[in-house]
Amino acid sequence: WILVGALACQPALAQAAQADSLRPAFLLTGALHRDSQDLSGQWTYSKDLYRTGLTDINGWVAKSRMQRARDVDVAAVEAKGGVDFYEFDMDRGPLINVPGAWNAAAAELRYYDGLIWFQRKFDARPEAGKRTFLRFEAVNYRAYVYLNGKEVGRHEGGFTPFVLEVTEALRAGDNRLVVGVDSSHDAQSIPTQITDWDLYGGITRKVSLITTPATFIDDATLTLRSDGRIAGEVQLQGPQAANQAVTVAIGALGTARATTDANGRALIELPAPKGLERWTPEKPTLYDVRFSASGDQLRDRMGFRTIAVKGNQILLNGKPLFLRGISLHEEEFGPNPARNMTEQASRALLHEIKHGLNGNYVRLSHYPHSETTVRLADEMGLLVWSEIPVYWTVDWENPAVLRKALVMQAETIYRDRNRASVILWSVGNETPVSPSRTRFHGAMADNVRALDPTRLVSAALLVERKGDVLEIQDPLIDKLDVLAVNVYAGWYGPDTLDGIAKLRWNVPGERPLILSEFGADALAGHRGQGLKKFTEEYQAEYYRKTLAMAEGIPTLRGLSPWILKDFRSPRREHPVFQNGWNRKGILSETGVRKQAFDVLSDYYRRK
Ligand code: GCB
């Protein structure tokens, strides 16, 4: 285990070097605020179950009749007649909306798991001295990107953004963008193919074409430090990145100035600004921030707050905090949801948490949700737990898989580290304890600290049961700031509802604890059967009993029960109650409140 061995010998140096090596070639932080061409809309697609478009790329097949990424006008070739012909035509393919998971787009795609090619044509007017990038906010799970027949890049990981420079491949006038999307997961993917949610496929988030000056601001970050400074850094890229003046104007708070070093990097500092209104869930103040350097400008809206742990308290802006939250999957409301999130859909979900449940916190499980959602959390005042899908099991022994996890985590942190709402980075969910698994998560925790020392590290751990005593027996706790456990006594396992009250906790006294999950299935409207499983009454009573039991944990600092809304899960096939849905939502899939919703909402109102 070379990597972890090296980390153990020279922690600080090795971690910093490693964190740098995880930085993607381009970040374009704050890209949502840049001038760009939105490539959302109708694309065409072509299914490719046998992967001919990928496997036919090399050798004799370079001129394959099946390689969908080729820059060819098939109809024109056919019109000419002659010997040439093709067995695809992206121009005349069926239409599909991008962004969005393909599963809800057509009946034939509901259970399609594999490779599909997507095409979008667009008009461009490249300007001399400018650079052009394609930015994908998320493609699930692997992406193969071609512009005008040339491969411009690949990406693995279904929930994080990636940026590809296309300055050379772009042409004036009509451009042909083709993206192969492979949704299949395997034992080395993150997550693996074994999850409890629908592994939707597709270009699930926005694609944009972004133009920048030759030298541009690739990354810019600021946070409020414990001593009251606002500090961060700006990274330029391009021929004129070194020794450049950088200005950072933060609303009415003041302006910081710095000069970039030989690597185009400048450290920014604004000493304790007077009149700073700190971001809180109750008053989520955001400031307009403008970064300027080398003729480029980047705007953002940022909140400033501190987060820390002291003994068994979580402190927001120095004050003890209780996290009144719930877990959330990325799936819109509706009878046939997929992952077709819009700002409106995210807003509706977060609104239910904030105003329906009286919440101040959301666990964005089990993968990074869209940047739009996290920005809405900033704006609406919800604290965020962020995680990557190192879930149940991944290939702990394989250094290449660890590398994937570290890159995915880096992509998430670079994307979201300017969001005041994000307070916790989680490094795993319910992973059975073993030495190789603990090393894997340990490396992830070290990586998070190297990339972002200003936030807290946690993981949703498994609970151990000894008689009526619940414990955490996991060496990973040494790497965490906040302990978190998933507990399902009274749903899974031998306990009756009455048995929940008997449970006692034996957890470290000097560490804050979150119940990252608890929950029970109920089919909305299934009532009047007494306290039987799958009834609304059972779920409501389970919530009452579990909340009462949780009151007995002296170090409890937050809750994110499982889950806001019923979600699709192919492993749940009870033909009466589930039919492909995990029913632990306290809202049905269409947003109808079950009885447990009011139980939790009342509890949070009193808390
Ligand atoms: C868990 C998992 C979550 C599942 C849930 C369940 O512990 O973290 O992804 O959906 O249990 O419903 O069993």
408: domain CATH number is 3.20.20.80
Average pLDDT over the chain, rounded to whole? 95
In a domain, 564, yes or no: yes
Residue nearest (by alpha carbon) to ligand 1 atom 9 = 196
> To test the ligand 1 pocket, which listed residue (192, 194, 195, 196) has its Cβ within 8 A of the most ligand atoms?
196
Q: Give residue 53's pLDDT band: very low, low, confident or very high (50, 70, 90).
A: confident
Distance 114 CA to ligand 1 centre (A): 25
Ligand 1 atom nearest to 492, measured from its CA = 13
Number of domains comprising the chain: 3
∠ CA 319-598-482 to the nearest 5 degrees? 35
Quick check: helix, strand or coil at residue 104?
helix
N residues, the chain? 607
Q: Are residues 358 and 262 in the same domain?
A: no
Residue 59's pLDDT is what? 43
Distances (CA, A) of 495 to 237, 276, 401: 59, 51, 37
Q: Are strands 162-165 and 567-568 parallel, antiparallel or unpaired?
A: unpaired
Confidence class for position 189, pLDDT limits 50, 70, 90: very high
The verdict on residue 27 lying in a domain is no
Compute, in angstroms, the gap from residue 582 CA to the centroid of ligand 1: 9
* Domain membership flag for residue 25: no
Same domain? 143 vs 273: no
Separation of alpha carbons 577 and 573, rounded Å: 8
Is the C-beta atom of 135 inside 6 A of ligand 1?
no
Distance of CA 517 from the midpoint of ligand 1 (Å): 8
Q: Is the CB of 521 under 6 A from ligand 1?
A: no
Say how many Å lie between the CA of residue 403 and the centre of ligand 1.
Answer: 25
pLDDT bracket for residue 17 (50, 70, 90): low
Q: Mark 56-90 as b/e (b = at least 16 C-beta within 10 Å).
A: beeeeeeebebbbbbebebeeeeeeeeeeebebbb
In-domain check, residue 439:
yes
Interface confidence, given as ipTM, is 0.99
Instruction: Tell whether 368 and 501 lie within a shared domain.
Output: yes
Determine, yes or no, domain membership for 355.
Answer: yes
pTM of the model: 0.96
On whether both 495 and 411 belong to a single domain, the answer is yes
DSSP per residue over 513-572, as a string?
A: EEEEE----B-TT--SSSS-TBSHHHHHHHHHHHHHHHHT-TTEEEE--S-SB-EE-TT-
* CB-ligand 1 contact for 396 (6 Å cutoff): no
| List of residues 6+ apart from 348 with CB closer than 8 A | 332, 333, 591
Tokens in use for 426? 């989680």
The reply to whether 402 and 347 lie within a common domain is yes
* DSSP H or E run through 282: none
Exposed/middle/buried for residue 593 (C-beta within 10 Å: 0-12, 13-18, 19+): middle
- Look at strands 287-293 and 245-250 and give their pairing: antiparallel
Structural domain contains residue 477: yes
- Domain range for 175: 34-213
Question: Is the Cβ atom of 195 under 6 angstroms away from ligand 1?
Answer: no
- Is the pLDDT reported for residue 9 higher than 90? no
Among residues 296, 293, 276, the alpha carbon closest in space to that of 285 is found at: 276
Single out the residue of 441, 358, 450 nearest to residue 396, CA to CA: 441
Asked whether residue 7 is assigned to any structural domain, the reply reads no
The answer to the question of residue 19 being in a domain is: no
Same domain flag for 178 and 90:
yes
Tens-digit pLDDT profile for residues 421-458: 999 999 999 999 999 999 999 999 999 999 999 999 99
* pLDDT tens sequence across 227-241: 999 999 999 999 999
Q: Are residues 381 and 432 in the same domain?
A: yes
